[in-house]
Amino acid sequence: MCGIAGIVAPEGSRADRDILEAMARAQAHRGPDGQGLFLEGRAGLAHRRLAIIDLATGDQPMTTACGRATIVFNGEIYNHLELRARLEARGRRFATRSDTEAILQAWMEYGPACVEHLRGMFAFAVWDRDARTLFAARDRLGKKPFHYALADGAFLFASEIGALTLHPGVSREPDLEALGLYLSLQYVPDPRTALRAVRTLPPAHTLLWRGGAPRVARYWSLEFAPKRRAPEQELLEELRGLAEEATRIRLMSEVPLGAHLSGGIDSSIVTALMARAMSGPVKTFSIGFEEEAFSELPKARAVARRWGTEHREFTVRYGHVPAVLDEIVAHAGQPFADPSALPMWFLARETRAHVTVALNGDGGDELFAGYQRYWLDPLAALWSALPAALTQRLTPWLARRLPQPGDVPIERDRVAALKRLAQVAALSPKASIVRWGSYFTPQDAARLWRPGLAPHADPVALLARRFDNARAVTFLDRTLAADLSCYLPGCLLVKADRMAMAHGLEGRSPLLDQELAQWAARLPDGLRMRGRTGKWLLRRAFADLLPPEVTAQGKQGFGVPVGRWFREGLAGWSRELLLGGRAVARYLRPEAVRTLLDEHARGRADHGKRLWALAALELWLSRHASV
């Protein structure tokens, strides 16, 4: 894990060393173990290193012996030894043991097709001196970030948005269309960012720049067909073998490693597989809250006892929010509204005090259908067929009159479920996550904006396109494909990367291994979901490794008690921030924001997540944008 940056100046110019060094320093948290620079005429590459593999000779930027190609790389390539052997058999010679050189030599051998040979997480850029081109690529599911911009004829790239804005030619003007999407999705989907001048390279894409506009192309897609037809027991054994291998290869490290253990099924499986593969006890780390309804610490402890791990815990309190939300926004480089970034920030900090690498359970819900909405979607179709007088007038009228204290996680909040029914009936079933999970529906968001400023970007249409374009067969397949292409890389993996790298911690996700992901995509619906039970085959495959209270539980997201916090300890802070801030002064209707604050304070509605999203927007506008 590292931070990368680069500048390719226009023909006849030289890369600016001072700006390049500043871009690298801005990402020092991503690579605290060293910095490297490459400057050759118009090209400049920078690297901040977090040393994990080949501690002695893996420094970057790395240049081929002939001097033609230079690379900067962020991530880990788990098949680099096998790849190296194949390349050596074709005559390539290596000077190090690093996975970085495996990519570089693969580029020399295969060109842009080198990405087809990589198994792992990666974002990298290669400057080809002879061809005078920059080639960049991002891993298949979007674990590692890559942002870029064009400024004064130069091409710039970096792991984090904030590094790009250090170039004087990169405008900090907000992209209102992106902010409109943010209010409904809670994140800004690729290829947009919250800045008009900056773009994100989507997962599973390459980029080639020779001047002018970069050429971006997809190199991989998840295939959901043909479906697997083997007997269930045979598939169960295949799943166990794939998950065991995906975990084993992620234990490759020359520095201490551990596991993030939430108490949910996915992280518990990863912890169990680590315990079976390692010679010593696994170091596990968990986070919880004083509000017991939101805390899964008892389940995490049960898993830790089952496998004899060295277990540590940390408790998050509302008083942590003001300073840390500012940090979260700064590291994301744009507004980011998932409140679980807060406990993730603290979990990463506590973990980094003991290990440098932590495995996690990310991806299980999106690949194996773990969210409640996956089994609710078919029922929603029946509900939506009822008369609009019931679904969109009477039901919302009744729901608005019910108090909503927000003192339980969303999965157990029946009032919240009732209030969702109107938007479920009103929105396209192709946009599952907006129907069930959006803080602001497109209509709600439109009412927030000052007259004439409401953006036109449509989050429902965006998700519907991802749904329609999926290489999938069933409705569930297409919904999973939309989540894997939008929600996973835009929200979950941004949170995982930025919060971990804020503390120089490398996160690894065995369940998002590309071989396991492709295998899981072709499972029949009935092996993912049975009735109201998601992750059916995954639960069965690992039931013998987990405590019963873990395998029997339903899905509980990484909930944060923001409803209570904004009604009690953070009430004054949030009112002062939102009503006195730049977002309201420039873009939002003060009366609409005040209504949210007042309704929440009186317990008429739980606007906790909406207020969190607006607070993140305000902090970003006031600190990182030109308003």
- Look-up: residue for tokens 């030619």? 169
Q: Assign 49 to helix, strand or coil.
A: strand
Point out the annotated binding site for L-glutamine.
99
Contact (CB, 8 A) for 47 and 36: yes
Contact (CB, 8 A) for 340 and 347: no
Q: What is the largest CA-CA distance in the chain?
A: 74
Cβ atoms within 10 Å, residue 619: 22
Cβ atoms within 10 Å, residue 397: 10
Contact (CB, 8 A) for 133 and 70: no
Beta strands in 66-218 (DSSP E): 69-77, 120-128, 133-138, 147-151, 154-158, 198-200, 205-209, 215-218
Single out the catalytic residue among 2, 114, 486, 491.
2
Point out the annotated binding site.
99, 287
Point out the annotated binding site for ATP.
287
Q: Which stretch of DSSP H or E encloses residue 351?
A: helix 341-352
Residues paired with 200 in a beta bridge: 147
- Apex 437 CA angle, 427 and 460, nearest 5: 35
Task: State the virtual CA torsion across 325, 330, 333, 337 in degrees, nearest 10.
Answer: 0
Give catalytic status of residue 2 as yes or no: yes
Omega into 396 within 30° of 0, i.e. cis?
no
SS (H, E, C) 398-458: HHHCCCCCCCCCHHHCHHHHHHHHHHHHHCCCCCHHHHHHCCCCHHHHHHHECCCCCCCCC
Catalytic residues: 2
